Chains A and B, each alone.
Chain A
């Protein structure tokens, strides 16, 4: 091949080299690992508390990230802005007067961390209405195989004309016993995501322990629903997606919710 003849090809290569160098490399966001993690539930009748953690390195075996201390934190309800104080537990910021929590009000949390303004807002949903249980308790069959899992043993129901998100939590009161040999490694307390429904069916497969429970119905906001819907234990590089959060310049959740409680027994 004559050199002179190959000039169109060389020219084309050159043109394309320019074509490619015109693009800049995509830089991942390096700041995000320095952002704080917030955990705060505003529930009327309960103390106002905000937990502040650092994120954990992937290889970190601690349950929670290291607490963040010494932050000046503010909470506002639209009309007044109060300052939270760090309690004896490091990284936990509290405000003593929980009477500021009321239905329909929007609360905003604000502070500066690592040079970034961190904030989050949440509106107090209405309290659950007409929360009832069909029965005061259920008898769990010890031979609970998959067949039992679909049999409805009890129905919890409530009014939900506005299609609010609801979560039904069960907290054990006192000692419980595992209902069978393979239930023992499961969590004792439960959180059932009812989404926008107005009932939840309890089946033989719901409980793994026998004992006294508090059945707590929470009316929750979308941010909490999103968080528990995306509780990630495992992911692949092809499916990994950021867990939704309502924190600006941060992670975790700052959300208002209201609760109603019933007693429930599993035999």
Chain B
């Protein structure tokens, strides 16, 4: 009986405590012993002497022999050594059992073997032991949070259930949860989340008194058994119970083909409803929406520039991101200010348990991060990324930069890009991007946390150089300036507070700025006939935006069936746009300011276990128009049975700021932001109607969703230089005419997702049938296919796991994008006798480019420590394996009176190598 007692005590503890005990045992226990035996006998001895559960395959392990004398060595070190010498690994599960593995995929087999053997002996160690005492508390509530045991980070969207009841909860953004009406204090709580081992523990009269912290242990980098329905175990997950929600955890991103860098936004492009064929944009084209209609929120602040390197990479460093949620439409009233979708990115808090340092290297960039606890109450994360002009970078840079129009004219004139009128001395422009993430989290007390987040990212291209030598006879200090810079700087301070078990708030002070500067021109001093003239010709275009805001978001769980969310926000936004020519004449000098403020309220109702209703409303007062904008929202889901769910969402959405794209795409400054004024630039409005059904079992998820959206107050922009003809900037009479066109649109579509969630082979097939139309008076009175309209889009994502290898194959196919083509040309003679040429342009977007398709392959090899922890990976990625020439756009040029058509293509076959390393 005395011998049994410790076992009983162990059994009543939670599974994660058992794992901690095993780890402590490995660290603290020292061994002084001589082993000269087979390895299986050594493990038997260790099990017996130190009361450990070591599981191994006797047949294979007995072939290894140990002849070693250990002197005062920790048990962990001993395991490292004997496993290391025999090319074995060991792995500690959350229940404290140590598994000895020859191959990392052996774990599930060993676990099954162990369970069978234990059952045979009349004990099932996986089951939670019966309660110590009869229940004392009934019908009470508990609250707490779920964290990652290894880093201390809170875990969002983990599923918690009170076993034996139908009480289920999903953790909120800060990992928090609350349950009401728990029947008794002997109930078992089960917690599960992708990439972690399922945790089960029994409540006791003591544990329910305080908030409960549930730490989850990571699962071995292989695939787990699945025990509950709805468990997510993939790179990318769909919330089958909500319409249009996608979730992503960057930790698993390296299983997908990597284009230079793990990329959180590009990964979403592999899911249905998010267009995957816009290589020149990291921004999301969601359900017929454009990237500027997608709200990107990072740690509470809005990000206005989400691209690096012409959109080939997103501005977010995956090492600094904890999780990403994409709401494809019909989203909650908590979010507003955009017509189409919301991407919410949550940064990592930084490891509160131990310091981790890591580097990622690729042919594109260098990426380093540090996560560390600073004090007992605070932690820090710093992540820095910078590109270098390696072969991969250069290839993309050239692809997106080197195509330009021959001939000077207009501003600058002497641009040294390809075909720049034959003037430029061809030099390789210096170009790079960088970004920095910094986050400091300070836990004031158990209920209050302050987090300071800072982000800065820039893209710079500098093609400045000295004036070509043939000018220098009369010119001194001649310089050609040619640079483009764009990026973001943003910061937020977030105060998270738990006011009571069921009231939780997040309050943010946010700052976000965006800039896009382009400077092209020549400067110097011209000395001619003894007269010196200082000159500075060219154009300088600057657009910047500043957004300062405060917002507070509250969640009040009234009981198990009613949750009330509410909050308020206020923002001050400022946009400056200047177009300066010859350093003096300001062709455009615009300064717009706007204040907007408002609030939202939303109810989440679960009247029965099956029905979920979520009505909400958002009110925004927008100062430039002086109007109040009301946005009703509603979503609902109904669970037919354990497999089928029906879902629906609708809502009205307003957008007060537009990103307008300059038509002269080739001249660098591609887009900038303008604030709506209610007339020239109207306030955009959209209505969404979305519905769907999903079927889910242990292995598969089938999700079908349809949508219909109407859009009003869309804005397009052109800028034309008028006057100042001839070569270069002429007289002081040049003007720029800004034309804003407004229009309407609609989008409809159906998306089908079939996902295999578990097993060595995982992946999904996605098909989208859609139609997106716009109507702008400038193009006529009928609807035409919007630029982003693709009829069919098919994606096949395949991942295969074998031991320490992950292989992936991604195939994308989409109908070609619509484009406008010239039908014919004509020439007339001007007043000076010179010819004026023009195109007779066909219907707006009346033609289709050829279909887009490509195949990407990747293989990643995990670097593991002897104890099974991942310390890095080596990967090779092949982009566009069969080198299909996907057309980006077509260029038309008059040459010898005829029109030459050139296809400008996206990236061809591009290989890449990546190396990731982590140190603790």
Tell me which residues across on chain A come within 8 A of B376, comparing CB atoms: none
Chain A residues with CB under 8 A of B891: 234-237
Q: Encode A50-78 as 1/0 by CB contact (under 8 A) with B.
A: 01010111111111110000000000000
Query: In the complex the two chains form, is A240's CB within 8 Å of B820's CB?
Result: yes
Interface residues as binary, A69-109 with B (CB distance below 8 Å gives 1, 0 otherwise): 00000000000000000000000000000000000000000
| Residues 191-206 (chain A) with a chain B CB within 8 angstroms | 191-195, 197, 199-203, 205-206
Verify B733–A199 contact, CB threshold 8 A: yes
When A8-B644, A37-B828 are in contact, do A143 and B473 touch as well, CB less than 8 Å?
yes
Question: Is B836 interfacial (CB-CB < 8 Å)?
Answer: yes
Cβ B535 vs Cβ A150 within 8 A: yes
Residue from the set A64, A233, A234, A251 with the largest chain B CB neighbour count within 10 Å = A234
State whether A241 touches B842 (Cβ < 8 A).
no
Segment at the B interface, from A18-26, A111-119, A122-130: A18-26
- Within A201-252, the residues touching B (CB, 8 Å) are 201-203, 205-206, 208, 216, 218, 225, 227-243, 251-252
CA–CA, A56 and B836, complex, Å: 14
Q: How far is the CB of A3 from chain B (nearest CB, A)?
A: 12
Given contacts A59-B899, A234-B891, A251-B840, contact A19 B748 (CB under 8 A): yes
List of A residues within 8 angstroms of B168 by Cβ: none
Q: Is B22 an interface residue (CB 8 A)?
A: no
Assess the A195–B722 pair: CB atoms within 8 A: yes
Q: Are B533 and A197 in contact (CB under 8 A)?
A: no
**Docked-complex contact A233 and B537, CB < 8 angstroms:** no
Contact partner of B665 (CB less than 8 A), chosen from A55, A234, A239, is: A239
> Which chain A residue shows the least CB distance to B748?
A19
User: Distance (Å) between the CB of B703 and the closest chain A CB?
Assistant: 9
Chain A residues near B897 (CB, 8 Å)?
A: 56, 60-63
**B824 with A240: CB separation less than 8 A:** no
Whether B833 pairs with A12 at a CB distance below 8 angstroms is no
Mark contacts of B718-729 with chain A using CB atoms, 8 A cut-off: 1 yes-contact digit, 0 otherwise.
101011111111
A237 touches B832 (CB 8 A): no
Report the Cα distance A140→B98, complex, angstroms: 89
B704: CB under 8 A from chain A? yes
Q: Which B residues are CB-close (under 8 A) to A189?
A: 832-834
| Chain B residues touching A, range | 35 or more
Cβ-neighbour of A9 out of B533, B695, B820, B825 (below 8 A): B695
Are A171 and B832 in contact (CB-based, < 8 A)? yes
Which of A55, A149, A191, A234 is close to B832, meaning CB atoms less than 8 Å apart? A191
- CB within 8 A of A28: which of B846, B894, B901? B846
What's the least CB distance linking A250 to chain B, in Å?
10
Q: How far is the CB of A45 from chain B (nearest CB, A)?
A: 14
- B822: A residues at CB distance < 8 A: 58, 235, 240
Contact indicator A145/B889 (Cβ below 8 Å): no
Residue contact B783 to A26, C-beta cutoff 8 Å: yes
Q: Does B666 contact A (CB under 8 A)?
A: yes
A221 CB to closest chain B CB, in angstroms? 12
Contact B785 A147 (CB under 8 A): no
B228 contacts the other chain (CB 8 A): no
- B889 x A26 contact (CB < 8 A): no
Contact flag A33-B840 (CB < 8 Å), given A12-B750, A150-B582, A202-B731 = yes
Verify A55–B834 contact, CB threshold 8 A. Answer: no
Nearest B residue to A186 via CB reads B727
User: When A9-B693, A194-B723, A227-B828 are in contact, do A29 and B843 touch as well, CB less than 8 Å?
Assistant: yes
Residue among B478, B665, B833, B834 making CB contact with A236, cutoff 8 Å: B665
Residue of A32, A59, A148, A239 with most partner-chain B CB within 10 A: A239
Q: CA of A167 to CA of B843 in the docked complex: distance in angstroms?
A: 32
Residues of B within 8 A of A194 (CB): 723, 731, 733
| Chain B residues numbered 805-849 whose CB sits less than 8 Å from any CB in chain A | 819-843, 846-847, 849
Q: B823 near A33 (CB under 8 angstroms)? A: yes
B753 to A: closest C-beta gap in Å: 11
- In the complex, B135 has a CB within 8 A of chain A: no
The A-contacting residues of B in range 469-489, CB under 8 angstroms, are 471, 473-475, 478
Most A CB within 10 A of own CB, among B478, B693, B723, B782: B723
Judge whether A16 is part of the interface by a CB distance below 8 angstroms: yes
Closest to A145 in B: B471
Q: Which residues of B contact A192 (CB under 8 A)?
A: 724-726, 730-731
Q: What's the minimum C-beta distance from A90 to chain B, rounded to whole angstroms? A: 16
Give Cα distance in the complex from A63 to B720, angstroms: 26
A146 within 8 A of B: yes
Chain A residues, CB < 8 A from B730: 192, 200-201, 203, 205-206
A146 with B522: CB separation less than 8 A: yes
CA distance A216 to B897 in the complex (A): 27
- The yes or no answer to B898 lying at the interface (CB within 8 A) is yes
Give complex CA distance A151, B841 in Å: 39
Chain A residues in contact with chain B, CB under 8 A? 1, 5-6, 8-9, 12-13, 15-16, 19-20, 23, 26-29, 32-33, 35, 37, 39, 41, 51, 53, 55-65, 141, 143, 145-152, 167, 169-171, 186-187, 189-195, 197, 199-203, 205-206, 208, 216, 218, 225, 227-243, 251-253, 257
Query: Shortest 10 CB-CB distances between A and B: which pairs?
Result: A147-B526, A201-B731, A28-B843, A28-B846, A237-B819, A243-B838, A195-B723, A197-B733, A191-B832, A55-B824
25 A-B contacts (beta carbon < 8 Å):
A9-B704, A20-B771, A23-B771, A26-B846, A28-B847, A33-B823, A37-B827, A51-B828, A55-B824, A141-B528, A143-B526, A145-B471, A146-B475, A146-B524, A148-B526, A150-B729, A151-B533, A194-B733, A197-B733, A200-B733, A201-B730, A206-B730, A233-B894, A238-B787, A240-B820
Q: Which residues of B contact A (CB under 8 A)?
A: 405-407, 413-414, 467, 471, 473-475, 478, 522, 524-526, 528-529, 533-537, 582, 643-644, 646, 663-666, 691-693, 695, 697, 702, 704, 706, 708, 718, 720, 722-733, 735, 748, 750, 752, 769, 771, 778, 782-785, 787, 819-843, 846-847, 849, 889-894, 896-899, 901, 904
Given A147-B528, A201-B731, A227-B828, 4 extra CB contacts under 8 A: A53-B826, A232-B838, A236-B890, A241-B778
